[in-house]
Amino acid sequence: MDKVVASAAEAVADITDGSTLAVGGFGLCGIPSVLIDAVLDAGVTDLEAVSNNCGVDEWGLGRLLMAHRLRRMISSYVGENKEFARQYLSGELEVELTPQGTLAERMRAGGSGIPAFFTATGGGTQVAEGGIPWRYDSEGNVTVSSPAKETRLFGDREYVLEEAIVADFGLVRAWKGDRHGNLVYRQSAQNFNPLAAMCGRLTIAEVEHLVEPGEIDPAEVHTPGVFVQRVVALTPEQAADKKIEKRTVR
């Protein structure tokens, strides 16, 4: 039952070229930065990442992006990452842009064993009808577009069929975790972390505070240990190394 591994490098050692990674976090809040760096150091490439966004230039998933390790992104927000936008528009990266709530539910459904679901989001738009550019070539021509999706009327409203997401690996960051893999996220760092943990076939959690089994009140657990296969305890320095995406002052 003890799921703690000695290092982040050991935890990600079986991530191979072409793997799909579900990565928690929103912007730079709650991102598993230590595990991402370990993936970068491991040298794997041709990765597909499922995450709300792709970090920023030089931090988070942006580090994998800058090293051209990502082949494809499923996300809902380009955000402040200029390199993300550049690679997408120049044909170096395939991007499946997905409405944010739909992305969250696709990940949750994958972890719940639900293969697909209907949602009103995207009805009557290219989300349902297809044609959203997924990949460009170097000349700016669209080479891959989103397919049309099945729709159905429930009552008098159109709903769109969306498929669940199941990733090879889930990478998440928790404020507190025990040796059994039970996780607690702090405030807004909860964001996409529980969903990434659920939809990964093998989920790895980096935790800022490792405690013994029984020290976490079961009522406070956000991700039960059944969803987590490996735990990496961060050093105080790693736990404190958090970037601010935007600082606003008077």
Q: Residue 34 belongs to what H/E stretch?
A: helix 33-42
Nearest to 171 by CA among 188, 194, 144, 189: 194
* Mean pLDDT for the stretch of residues 199-220: 97
Task: Indicate whether 49 belongs to any domain.
Answer: yes
For 39-74, write each residue's pLDDT tens digit.
999 999 999 999 999 988 888 999 999 999 999 999
Q: Could you list the residue range(s) of the whole structural domain that residue 52 is in?
A: 4-70+165-240
Confidence tier at 248 by pLDDT (50, 70, 90): confident
Q: What is the CATH number of the domain that holds 217?
A: 3.40.1080.10
User: Can you give the pTM of this predicted structure?
Assistant: 0.94
Nearest to 197 by CA among 164, 227, 224: 227
Task: Indicate whether 235 belongs to any domain.
Answer: yes
Task: Indicate whether 209 belongs to any domain.
Answer: yes
* C-alpha to C-alpha distances, 250 to 80, 244, 245, 247, nearest whole angstrom: 21, 17, 17, 10
Residue partners of 182: CB distance under 8 A and separation at least 6: 213, 216, 221, 223, 224, 225, 228
| CA pair distance 55, 37, nearest whole angstrom | 13
Task: Indicate whether 50 belongs to any domain.
Answer: yes
For the cut 80, the answer to whether the pLDDT of residue 159 exceeds it is: yes
Q: How many domains does the chain contain in total?
A: 1
* Mean pLDDT for the stretch of residues 106-113: 97
Task: Indicate whether 76 belongs to any domain.
Answer: no
Task: Indicate whether 219 belongs to any domain.
Answer: yes
